[in-house]
A = this chain, B = another copy of it.
Amino acid sequence: MTWTLHGTNAQEGDLVQLVGLRHKSFLLSLKAGAVFQTHRGVIKHDDLIGKPWGSQIFSHNGSPFFLLQPALGDVIRELPRSSQILYPKDIGYILVTMGIGPGQHVMEAGTGSGSMTTAFSFAVGKEGHVTSYEIRPDMQTRARRNLEQLGLDDRVTLKLRDIREGFDETGMDAFFLDVQYPHEYIPQVRAALKPGGFFGSIVPTTNQVIRLLTELRLNRFAFIDVVETILRFYKPEPLHFRPVDRMVAHTGYLVFGRPIIEDETQTSPDLLREIGLLGLEERDENSDDSEASPDLEE
């Protein structure tokens, strides 16, 4: 079971994506002698092994497919899931913003269906590691199955736990928090994440963002960013080039921050205010409202 994106021809053990009519797509691992059944006919794995990637192939009844290596974005879209989707648009920005790359040690809670776990374990490579907590055994089981199919399971430690009790690990390079009430676990996250490490979370409502912002500040997280990512797709028609008619309007608000260490002997109110660690309380009491305080705005 290998999910490789290198190489020119499909080989036994490779994870492949078959894309047929109406963008219907399947992920499977090639195994000599095995057979892939679809309502569009039967395909022998032996007919795929050795073929160049990008080949057009046909099922026994002539239904056409293309043989492809799936990118991270494709895998995320195809994974069996029972919970909220994390979209490729968000995942890409999370990876780039949270310093995720070969060699990092990343922690996550909760595991969910494992889409973010997949992204992290793909990106950290063989030398990195992902530790992922989940409270529901059924979700963990599904995530484990997904990771095994992708050959990523040996980079991941899955733990079953109510994270209110805290985490076993400390000094993590990055922590992604994707649970129902993220604002309730910030002290626990703070304890597991190394100072200066990368914190990220995704929440669907503005009410949750507001609560999370308050907790992050109380727990001395700085460099807080809140951002939405939006994708606008176009019809790829050279003679009628225009956006598609409808789009995803909302998946969630991404919230990022860095736990910092203050100097006990020396302090800089200006810098602390700029990064949001001073001044919140003052604003609460004195501010009439946001418009009345233009100097607080960026």
**A residues lining the B interface (CB < 8 Å):** 4-6, 8, 19-23, 52-58, 62-73, 76, 84, 88-89, 91-105, 119, 122-127, 171, 173-174, 180-181, 194-198, 204-211, 213-214, 217, 222-250, 253, 255, 258-263, 266, 268, 270-271, 274-276, 280, 283-284, 287-293, 296-298
A253 to B233, CA, bound (A): 9
Residue of B nearest to A231 (CB): B227
Cα–Cα distance between A21 and B242 once the two chains are bound (Å): 33
The oligomer's copy count stands at 4
Contact assessment for B250 and A242 in the assembled complex, using a CB-CB cutoff below 8 Å: yes
Are B101 and A291 neighbours in the complex by a CB distance under 8 Å? no
How many Å from the CB of A226 to the closest CB on chain B? 4
Known: A19-B223, A205-B242, A248-B245. A73 touches B56 (CB 8 A): no
Cβ–Cβ < 8 Å partners of A242 in chain B: 204-206, 250, 290-291
The smallest beta-carbon distance between A6 and chain B, in angstroms, is 6
Q: Return A19 CB to nearest CB of chain B, in Å.
A: 7
Residue ID in chain B nearest A170 by CB atoms: B8
